[in-house]
C-alpha cells in the first residue's frame, strides 16, 4: 500500500496551479488536479499526464467533489481582471461556493486545507507596506469587487470552519507573481509588457506609471505554499507571500524593453477604476514562521519569463 500523500489541487491547470502540481509530484505526492478550464489550460499540465502519480479531472468547484485526499490546495478562481470581470457573478461563486465545497470535503476527510487568497483583500491600501493585521480598504460595489470581496468572504469561511469544526486551515495572501505559463492575454502587467515588446507594439501603461507593484517569481511563491502547508497546526495564517522589492510600473516597462530590445514606445492610458496605487507585502511573518523569503531577482525571473514567451509570440 502506497504511503504517498494524496493531494488535491483545485485550479491545478492554471498558472500557479500547474507549477504547484509539478512541485508536489517532485516531492513524492499523488496529485489530483481539478480544473474547469475557464482560465486554466490543459497545455499547462500536458507534460505531467504520463506521470502515474498525476490525475487530471475536469470539474467546477462550485459543485461538490467527492474524493479521498490528505491535503487540499484551493487555487480555483480566475485571478486577472480580464478573466474575473468577464463573468463577475461566477467569479464570486467560485470563491464563495468553491470555499464552502472544499471546506466541506476537508471536514469529511479530515484533510488539511490551504486557501490561496490575495493581496487584493487589502484593496487600495492606506497602510504601506501591507501587514496581515491590516483590514483593508475595498470598494464593495466596484468592478473588481467580485474578486476582492469573494476572496475576503472565502477567508471568513475558512476561519469560521476552523473555529467551528477545528479544521486545519492554511491561508496565504498572494502578491503579484509572474513566470512561465502566465496567460499571454490575461491583462497582467508583466505578461502584457513582455508580449507587447516581443511583438514590437507600443507598451501600454495605465496611469502615469508611478503606481508601484512587487513582483515575485513563481518558483519562490510555490516554495512558500509548500512551507505553509507543512507548518504547525496552529499556524493558520493569513500570511503574506510576495517579493517586498517595490518597482514602479514605468520601471518594469523599461526593464522589459531593455531585455527584449526593439523600438516599442511607452504609451499612457487612463487608470482603471479601483486600481491600487501601491502594493508591497510586509513578509516579516513569512520570514519568521516559515523561514521563507524570495530568492530570485527580478532580472533573472524576467529573463526566464521572456524566454518562455518567445516560443509563443511572434513579432
Residues assigned a catalytic role: 147
State the DSSP string of 137-190.
Answer: B--TTSTTHHHHHHHHHHHHHHHHHHHHH---EEEEEE--EE-TT--TTS--HH
Burial class (CB in 10 A: 0-12, 13-18, 19+), 133: exposed
Picking from 76, 96, 71, the residue whose alpha carbon sits closest to that of residue 170 is 71
Cell numbers at 165, concatenated: 469544526
Picking from 154, 139, 164, 142, the residue whose alpha carbon sits closest to that of residue 96 is 154
Around Cβ 266, how many Cβ atoms within 10 Å?
15
Task: Give the SS3 label for residue 42.
Answer: helix
Cα separation, 21 vs 39, in Å, equals 17
Cell numbers at 38, concatenated: 475557464
Picking from 304, 183, 222, 305, the residue whose alpha carbon sits closest to that of residue 20 is 222
Burial class (CB in 10 A: 0-12, 13-18, 19+), 295: exposed
Amino acid at each position: 500500500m502506497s504511503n504517498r500523500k494524496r493531494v488535491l489541487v483545485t485550479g491545478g491547470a492554471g498558472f500557479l496551479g500547474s507549477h504547484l502540481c509539478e512541485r508536489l509530484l517532485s516531492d513524492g505526492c499523488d496529485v489530483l488536479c481539478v480544473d474547469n478550464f475557464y482560465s486554466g489550460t490543459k497545455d499547462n499540465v500536458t507534460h505531467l499526464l504520463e506521470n502515474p502519480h498525476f490525475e487530471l479531472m475536469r470539474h467546477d468547484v462550485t459543485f461538490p467533489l467527492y474524493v479521498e485526499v490528505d491535503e487540499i490546495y484551493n487555487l480555483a478562481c480566475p485571478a486577472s481582471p480580464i478573466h474575473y470581470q468577464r463573468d463577475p457573478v461566477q467569479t464570486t461563486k467560485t470563491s464563495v461556493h468553491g470555499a464552502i465545497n472544499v471546506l466541506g470535503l476537508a471536514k469529511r476527510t479530515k484533510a488539511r486545507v490551504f486557501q490561496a487568497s490575495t493581496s487584493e483583500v487589502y484593496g487600495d491600501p492606506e497602510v504601506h507596506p501591507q501587514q496581515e493585521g491590516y483590514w483593508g480598504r475595498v470598494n464593495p460595489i466596484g468592478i473588481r469587487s467580485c474578486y476582492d470581496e469573494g476572496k475576503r468572504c472565502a477567508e471568513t469561511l475558512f476561519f469560521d470552519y476552523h473555529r467551528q469544526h477545528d479544521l486545519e486551515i492554511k491561508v496565504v495572501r498572494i502578491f503579484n507573481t509572474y513566470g512561465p505559463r502566465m496567460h499571454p492575454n490575461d491583462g497582467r502587467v508583466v505578461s502584457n509588457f513582455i508580449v507587447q515588446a516581443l511583438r514590437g507594439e507600443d507598451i501600454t501603461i495605465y496611469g502615469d506609471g508611478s503606481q508601484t507593484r512587487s513582483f515575485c517569481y513563481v518558483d519562490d511563491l510555490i516554495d512558500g505554499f509548500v512551507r505553509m502547508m507543512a507548518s504547525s497546526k496552529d499556524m493558520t495564517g493569513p500570511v503574506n507571500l510576495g517579493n517586498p522589492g517595490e518597482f514602479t510600473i514605468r520601471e518594469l516597462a523599461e526593464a522589459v524593453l531593455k531585455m527584449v530590445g526593439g523600438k516599442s514606445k511607452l504609451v499612457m492610458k487612463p487608470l482603471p477604476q479601483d486600481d491600487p496605487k501601491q502594493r508591497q507585502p510586509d513578509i516579516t511573518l513569512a520570514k519568521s514562521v516559515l523561514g521563507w523569503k524570495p530568492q530570485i531577482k527580478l532580472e533573472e525571473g524576467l529573463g526566464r519569463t521572456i524566454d518562455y514567451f518567445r516560443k509563443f509570440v511572434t513579432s
